[in-house]
């Protein structure tokens, strides 16, 4: 026997359709089907707590009174992202930032909880002081690959091949993982839940007008193992100071430069399929050429933030985005909160929020909601001002 008590018939404009009053119970044995539609079809006047299925992202989302947001998944490692969550339920979606230059190379690791706002907290140290080339992660382990290290004269500043790892849900010192396939600084990395992929970089001293030391090599590691990186393939061109982000299937490299005379600033975006091996393929272009760009993603969108438009100075606070599953040129998203010094920053993400940290040489952390567009807002500060830090999280778009 069933009973329905309906006290009013209305639609979204209040002129028709059913409104249920009192206690309403759905007793289906298998599932119920919520309203669905594309991102463009989201209603802007929905009441807080409204639910729908987004057919673009394939996620359930809810309206918080201001914007539509994805539900964030959780498990015993990452916990749940609420202030009321007990400590035993996990860390929430955590971002970690490692290394950099302050001035002087640093080995500092900081962390934040992405769903909250506030200043970063000290996590521990990398095994060596350096500006890491790239960082990536699965849900439990964060990895820093390659980079630039300071050695004793006469070598001076040189590329490194060190790979470190941490357990994201804990705090403490990083541990040696292995080595990249070559000594390379200013590359970048992305990952899915299995593989970390590192591409591009330079083996020469930055800004010295000699032969181009850029590389097009891509290598990879299996994140839950230990050992040296293996060859993956090649980028379409040799370059460095590029951004990197991924979905669970596809990884993107975007922006960068070649140290020719004069320096060539690039706007190209390449992609690879993470589970395979092979060379990168052209994806499209950023809205403008820039190097030292930072990138992050959720499962649907890749976001590229700020960067250098000329050397030794000159930067923009532009934020672009692409739809990772497609190919094509980037679209304007908004601007970072930092106007000057908006280069050599770091980016990472949760399923809903992109985080941008640091710069030349600043401690600012800001954020945007990935599913929307608009300018970044203040999040907090790193434990110290620094450029060239690299970050990862246990909730990015590759997982």
Which residues on neighbouring strands pair with residue 220, listed in sequence order? 197, 230
Burial 311-333 (b: 16+ CB within 10 A, else e): beeebbbbbbbbebeeeeebeeb
Per-residue pLDDT at 249 exceeds 90:
yes
- Are residues 313 and 374 part of one domain? yes
- Are residues 21 and 63 part of one domain? yes
- Are residues 95 and 20 part of one domain? no
Instruction: Find the mean pLDDT for residues 72-100.
Output: 59
Domain that holds residue 300: 88-393
Instruction: Find the mean pLDDT for residues 205-219.
Output: 68
Cα–Cα distance measured from residue 241 to residue 266, given in angstroms and rounded to the nearest whole number: 10
DSSP 27: -
At residue 170 the predicted structure's pLDDT band, cuts being 50, 70 and 90, is very high
Q: Which residues have C-beta within 8 Å of that of residue 59, sequence separation ≥ 6?
A: 53, 70, 71, 299, 351
Residue bearing the bigger pLDDT, 34 or 139 = 139
- Are residues 147 and 45 part of one domain? no
- Are residues 199 and 147 part of one domain? yes
pTM (predicted TM-score): 0.78
Cα–Cα distance measured from residue 2 to residue 4, given in angstroms and rounded to the nearest whole number: 7
CA 63 and chain centroid, separation: 24
- Are residues 160 and 41 part of one domain? no
Cα–Cα distance measured from residue 63 to residue 51, given in angstroms and rounded to the nearest whole number: 7
- Are residues 110 and 50 part of one domain? no
Token pair of 131, please? Answer: 């500006």
CA 38 and chain centroid, separation: 24
Sheet holding 157-167, edge to edge: 131-137, 141-150, 157-167, 175-179
Cα–Cα distance measured from residue 354 to residue 142, given in angstroms and rounded to the nearest whole number: 17
Write down which residue in 43, 71, 99 finishes a domain: 71
Counting residues of the chain whose pLDDT is more than 90, the rounded percentage is 61
Q: How many domains does the chain have?
A: 2
- Are residues 66 and 193 part of one domain? no
CA 62 and chain centroid, separation: 23
Answer yes or no: is 276 within a domain: yes
Token pair of 217, please? Answer: 């090599």
DSSP readout, 351-364? SSEEEEE--SS--E
Residue bearing the bigger pLDDT, 90 or 311 = 311
In the three-class reduction of DSSP (H, G, I as helix; E, B as strand; rest coil), residue 211 is classed as coil
At residue 152 the predicted structure's pLDDT band, cuts being 50, 70 and 90, is very low
- Are residues 326 and 214 part of one domain? yes
Write down which residue in 38, 71, 104 finishes a domain: 71
Q: Which residues have C-beta within 8 Å of that of residue 30, sequence separation ≥ 6?
A: none
What are 105-133's pLDDT values in tens digits? 999 999 999 999 999 999 999 999 999 99
At residue 89 the predicted structure's pLDDT band, cuts being 50, 70 and 90, is very low
Token pair of 102, please? Answer: 């302050």
At residue 154 the predicted structure's pLDDT band, cuts being 50, 70 and 90, is very low
200 and 219 Cβ atoms separated by less than 8 Å = no
Cα–Cα distance measured from residue 122 to residue 235, given in angstroms and rounded to the nearest whole number: 35
Cα–Cα distance measured from residue 72 to residue 60, given in angstroms and rounded to the nearest whole number: 9
Using alpha carbons only, give the angle 109, 73, 143 rounded to the nearest 5 degrees. 25
Answer yes or no: is 78 within a domain: no
In the three-class reduction of DSSP (H, G, I as helix; E, B as strand; rest coil), residue 170 is classed as coil
What are 275-328's pLDDT values in tens digits? 999 999 999 999 999 999 999 999 999 999 999 998 877 899 999 999 999 999
- C-alpha dihedral sign at 202, 206, 208, 209: positive
With residue 179 as reference, give the H or E element that holds it: strand 175-179
């Amino acid at each position: 026997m069933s009973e329905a008590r309906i006290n009013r018939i209305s639609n979204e404009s209040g002129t028709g359709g059913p409104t249920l009053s009192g206690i309403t119970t759905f007793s289906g044995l298998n599932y119920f089907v919520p309203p669905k539609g594309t991102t463009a079809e989201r209603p802007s006047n929905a009441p807080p707590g409204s639910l729908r299925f987004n057919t673009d992202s394939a996620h359930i989302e809810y309206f918080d009174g201001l914007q539509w947001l994805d539900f964030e998944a959780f498990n015993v490692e990452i916990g749940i992202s609420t202030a009321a969550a007990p400590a035993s339920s996990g860390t929430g979606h955590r971002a970690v930032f490692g290394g950099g230059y302050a001035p002087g190379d640093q080995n500092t690791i900081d962390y934040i909880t992405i769903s909250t706002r506030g200043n970063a907290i000290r996590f521990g140290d990398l095994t060596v002081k350096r500006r890491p080339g790239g960082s990536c992660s699965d849900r439990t382990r964060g990895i820093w690959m390659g980079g630039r290290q300071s050695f004793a004269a006469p070598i001076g500043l040189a590329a490194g091949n060190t790979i470190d790892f941490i357990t994201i849900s804990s705090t403490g010192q990083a541990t040696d993982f292995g080595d990249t396939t070559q000594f390379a600084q200013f590359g970048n990395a992305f990952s899915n839940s299995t593989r970390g992929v590192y591409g591009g970089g330079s083996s020469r001293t930055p800004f010295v007008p000699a032969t181009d030391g850029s590389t097009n090599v891509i290598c990879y590691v299996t994140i839950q193992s230990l050992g040296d990186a293996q060859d993956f393939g090649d980028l379409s061109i040799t370059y460095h100071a590029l951004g990197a982000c991924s979905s669970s299937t596809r990884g993107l490299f975007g922006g960068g430069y070649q140290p020719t005379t004069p320096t060539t600033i690039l706007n190209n975006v390449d992609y690879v399929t993470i589970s395979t091996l092979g060379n990168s393929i052209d994806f499209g272009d950023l809205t403008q050429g820039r190097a030292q760009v930072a990138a992050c993603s959720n499962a649907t969108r890749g976001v590229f933030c700020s960067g250098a438009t000329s050397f030794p100075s000159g930067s923009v606070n532009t934020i672009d985005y692409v739809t990772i599953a497609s190919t094509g040129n980037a679209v304007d998203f908004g601007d970072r909160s930092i106007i000057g010094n908006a280069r050599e920053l770091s980016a990472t993400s949760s399923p809903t929020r992109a985080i941008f940290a640091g710069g030349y040489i600043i401690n600012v952390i800001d954020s945007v909601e990935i599913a929307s567009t608009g300018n970044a807002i203040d999040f907090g500060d790193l434990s110290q001002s620094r450029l060239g830090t690299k970050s990862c999280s246990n909730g990015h778009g590759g997982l």
